[in-house]
Copies of this chain bind each other. A is one copy, B any other.
């Protein structure tokens, strides 16, 4: 109820603050017998970790995960997979100066008011460092999804006003990881990097859009009414730090089409099997809250992160006016590092619905 657990059957619970000894958590409900590929999990963590490139924060964190339970002889046992990720590079003194300050558009003020007590070091629990645990959980979920040949790929489709005009179908998704900004459109990728470097020099930040596509989903995932597939995806995405919006299928652009233009006509294959599919996919692979077997795709908008290297006015907890300036090493644009987080949250949603779907029919 306090918001540190995600999922119903396949559940990730997390704990930890930016500047404590360690973050960690547990994956409960992972089915027994799954091969746990530790190298894959570490590679996923590396995609999120700081210091990857010149356009991300230069903080050096190793982000090595240590598993404590739930794995035996390389396989999941059906019991909770406990893990920790130690905080090696924390410098609490970086934050002493903000002990009583409320940084603009951060959680300092709301946390102070809600709890009356606050671990101010690096934002404490509100730090995006918390997402390291989501990567661990998401990576295990991905391993499970892979046994069903379900793949999830996210990429940066827009940074500020620089935007690829290609759809996911027109892009070569295998190029995502070769782009420093994780945009598989070469030309746009270069422009994005250039912009981010400029912004970084200004001490400012920029936002953008992460697009994501899920392929290979079987028909029937998602629950009607309140727990629709898109509802849980929306919740998952909006739970990521700095996310401001979510749309799936044609999303906000749906409103510029008429029903007759937007409806996805069903067709059947001409072979004996007569497998049913849709001609177009404005629905984004979800109808009535349930996957229809087509590609699921969606966008997540991220605002520019709040920590900037410029002076800003604010107040302290006593209501005195102060001037604040970001210290430490921060991201001018979180989008590249948000890509594996979006994928991880999507993987958690899909793994949960896959397991739920096993109980739909007698």
Q: Out of B70, B80, B228, B263, name the residue touching A105 (CB < 8 Å).
A: B263
Residues of chain B contacted by A22 (CB below 8 angstroms): 68-69, 82
Residues of chain B contacted by A266 (CB below 8 angstroms): 102, 104, 109, 313-315
Closest to A237 in B: B234
Whole-angstrom distance between the alpha carbons of A304 and B233 in the complex? 21
Q: Is the pair B11, A26 in contact by a Cβ cutoff of 8 Å?
A: no
Q: Is the pair B362, A31 in contact by a Cβ cutoff of 8 Å?
A: yes
Closest to A82 in B: B15
A239 within 8 A of B: yes
A57 within 8 A of B: no
| Residues of A61-110 contacting chain B, CB below 8 A | 66, 68-70, 72-73, 75-82, 84, 102, 104-107, 109-110
Q: Is the pair A260, B209 in contact by a Cβ cutoff of 8 Å?
A: no
Nearest CB of chain B from residue A314's CB, rounded to whole Å? 5
Q: Is the pair A119, B72 in contact by a Cβ cutoff of 8 Å?
A: yes
Whole-angstrom distance between the alpha carbons of A158 and B76 in the complex? 41
Q: Out of B4, B254, B319, name the residue touching A26 (CB < 8 Å).
A: B4
Whole-angstrom distance between the alpha carbons of A199 and B261 in the complex? 13
Q: Is the pair A358, B358 in contact by a Cβ cutoff of 8 Å?
A: yes
Whole-angstrom distance between the alpha carbons of A231 and B237 in the complex? 8
A251 within 8 A of B: yes
Q: Is the pair B308, A268 in contact by a Cβ cutoff of 8 Å?
A: no
Residues of chain B contacted by A313 (CB below 8 angstroms): 265-267
Whole-angstrom distance between the alpha carbons of A8 and B9 in the complex? 10
Q: Which of A40-48, A170-178, A289-297 contacts B (4 or more CB under 8 A)?
A: A289-297
Whole-angstrom distance between the alpha carbons of A278 and B105 in the complex? 9
Residues of chain B contacted by A254 (CB below 8 angstroms): 207, 244-245, 301-304
| Residues of A270-311 contacting chain B, CB below 8 A | 274-276, 278, 282-283, 287-292, 301-308, 310
Closest to A119 in B: B72
Whole-angstrom distance between the alpha carbons of A81 and B119 in the complex? 13
Residues of chain B contacted by A222 (CB below 8 angstroms): 110
Residues of chain B contacted by A250 (CB below 8 angstroms): 244, 303
Residues of chain B contacted by A32 (CB below 8 angstroms): 114-117, 360-362
Q: Out of B21, B208, B310, B355, name the residue touching A359 (CB < 8 Å).
A: B355
Residues of chain B contacted by A77 (CB below 8 angstroms): 115, 117-119, 124-125
Q: Which of A78, A116, A220 has the most B CB atoms < 10 Å from its CB?
A: A78
**For the complex of A and B, 9 pairs with smallest distance between CB atoms:** A107-B288, A274-B319, A3-B223, A245-B247, A15-B82, A3-B227, A205-B259, A268-B319, A32-B115
